Structure 1
């Protein structure tokens, strides 16, 4: 044992270990000092340049810590030179430290590029421009490419192979790479298409029937789109779905400050009838259709007299019906409503009969796109028409559901 200890020369190794630890400690202290010096210097120089050139991007570059990454690069460069000075008698240590520095340098360059891209994206992004989507998609794709390239460079450093050899060896798994990045590729293509066709942009009010969601687009990135619903919840959908599925864009209505009403009232067919003279006299008291009844009654009398029609039967000739008069009343009511747009499509029409009755649909636009005001206008219209239908002896269909307990 004594011979082994003598051969090992324990005191010598302890001395060397302490000496190397001291050198490493001093080396790291030097790196920290260099980092502080370069960080302060680069920020100071950058600020002076901004002041002298009226460069307004300094705050964005500062927020994204671009100057910090630049300072790291200078620190690593000077530190790389000092490696040989600090560890000149230890070639193995120099070799491994330089390899670590190479990897760290690649990571710092990647960090610098990503921060620069984030800054440029923030500067060039304009939420009211359709090109925003393409810019975001392009920069996000660029970041992914840089990350992949840096990973390949690190693999090249660790395996002592050049980058071409690493790329060649990865050629066999191209299909797997494409599969992994399928959503990213589709998202990039979708962003370009949306930008070129000006279909959707950030801030648009859209509805996606596939997911039964409706709200405002808050973000469109490479893989997903974030939509803020009217209840303030956030829904994320794949970016590709914005061009592959049916999407309704309501932004035109919001720009025009209008919003569509498209709802129907279902009437019981058993309540429909031809109007006789007494009924017409009663309906003439309704202000909105008074002139219409007078005009139509005269027109029908001339027609029936000309055709010499036997009017003893209600079915013979032309006659007004309570349903037809109500439809005209609803139309006139919309024409006279101060909060219904008269410059857009406005009609009251019959839909296809159903087993539950005949729907009459109101199709018009309000003069506001604000949800609360829109709902108030829509409610007031239907409150009035549903109640007014009783005056025409019409019955609104009510389906009664029975439960067996």
Structure 2
């Protein structure tokens, strides 16, 4: 290289070009030639590496090598050899311009930092995409960890580049940065909080990608589609997107429906408000009529036999229904609900089934149905619950009971 450069310089002098101009022209020509050679080598190596990776990915069963190509890892690696060539020949080209040579070398060192960051980023993106394909890791906030690592890498890279350009040793530069650490912490406050929150969320397994969560404070009610350092994205059921700060998952209360989706059923918990004035003891004639209801036939016969046996044994005066033991229309209706739910094909019989009476209110007696539907899909769940309550509301009149509702215009008419 030096001999060729000297010959070209001597040729320029021999054709009558001034020595100072010849130096500039000599450096410019060889620098231009070096750029052309570097671009050609970069293009050729890029083609060779891409072709090699493509052939390798076609032969292997794993998709990791396919992701390497997708995330441009071979393309970034291909820049290393042309960079080494440039670093080798730049001192020879600008040996007559030491000040400019120093600037160019510093520029190459900064480029080396950028190239390293590009390679690291593409490798980490490949690793992220690969880990997301694994069933046990696809719902983990991998993006958060990759982003945190890249933030630290870019921070060190920027500090290193500034140290190179200013000529300050890296250790001294980092030491001097301690004076402005408070400003840095203020700027990256959300990132730091997000990082800490994402670690806590992952360790405690509070939220996964794909979970259905309800966060009333932020108006979120839908599936988690992304977790990163800055936001947790929730796609609501109306297809809108709500963004939540990750640290809000730690500091505030929200509802995660994962327990429901992983269980054997989805809970039905709703009450009928029964008018208190309609509750009464049942006469023998009314009990006889209710025995025609197939779900109650066996129960009423056995129960009535037990009650009659008790009343006879204690010489109870049954001229007044209040005396002794008796059946009430509300109690029999509760038993009917229990039998109906236990015979309903869409109710999970292995989970809790209960019809319970809550404390009376100004709007009547709440009769709560507590059960679990076998089908957890939202639309089917709503259909099942509506079907159950349609039937029970219509069945109330057979027991002499009524639903409480506030008066309307038709009531007064």
For this structure pair, what is the TM-score category when the shorter chain's length is used for normalisation? 0.7 to 0.9
Aligned-partner Cα distance in 1 for 2:408–2:93: 89
- 1:223 alignment partner, one of 227, 230, 253: 230
> Equivalent residue of 1:133, what SS?
coil
Whether 2:229 is the aligned partner of 1:238: answer: no
> Equivalent residue of 2:223, what SS?
strand
Whether 2:385 is the aligned partner of 1:378: answer: yes
CA deviation profile, 1:39-87 (whole Å, cap 9, x unmatched):
1233244456667887752210010001111122322221222323333
Aligned-partner Cα distance in 2 for 1:30–1:111: 23
Partner of 2:103: 96
- 1:274 alignment partner, one of 267, 277, 281: 281
Partner of 2:70: 63
Whether 2:350 is the aligned partner of 1:351: answer: no
CA apart distance, 1:267: 1.8
Aligned-partner Cα distance in 1 for 2:304–2:72: 81
How many corresponding residue pairs?
392
Partner of 1:3: none
Q: Does the CA contact (< 8 Å) of 1:127 and 1:203 recur in 2?
A: no
Partner of 1:4: none
> Which is worse superposed, 320-329 or 190-199?
190-199
Whether 2:159 is the aligned partner of 1:152: answer: yes
Aligned-partner Cα distance in 1 for 2:134–2:54: 28
Per the normalisation by structure 1, the TM-score is: 0.85
> Equivalent residue of 1:398, what SS?
coil
Distance 1:158 1:131, change over 3 A: same
Distance 1:222 1:151, change over 3 A: same
Aligned-partner Cα distance in 2 for 1:262–1:78: 73
Per the normalisation by structure 2, the TM-score is: 0.83
> Which is worse superposed, 52-61 or 262-271?
52-61
CA apart distance, 1:17: 8.1
- 1:364 alignment partner, one of 350, 360, 371: 371
Whether 2:296 is the aligned partner of 1:289: answer: yes
Q: Does the CA contact (< 8 Å) of 1:207 and 1:249 recur in 2?
A: yes
> Which is worse superposed, 137-146 or 49-58?
49-58
> Which is worse superposed, 144-153 or 282-291?
282-291
Alignment of 1:105-184 (within 5 A): 105-126=112-133, 128-129=135-136, 133=140, 135-184=142-191
Measured on the aligned residues, the alpha-carbon RMSD in Å equals 3.1
5+ long unaligned stretches in structure 2:
1-17
Aligned-partner Cα distance in 2 for 1:14–1:400: 104
5+ long unaligned stretches in structure 1:
1-10
CA deviation profile, 1:268-300 (whole Å, cap 9, x unmatched):
222222222222222222111122222222222
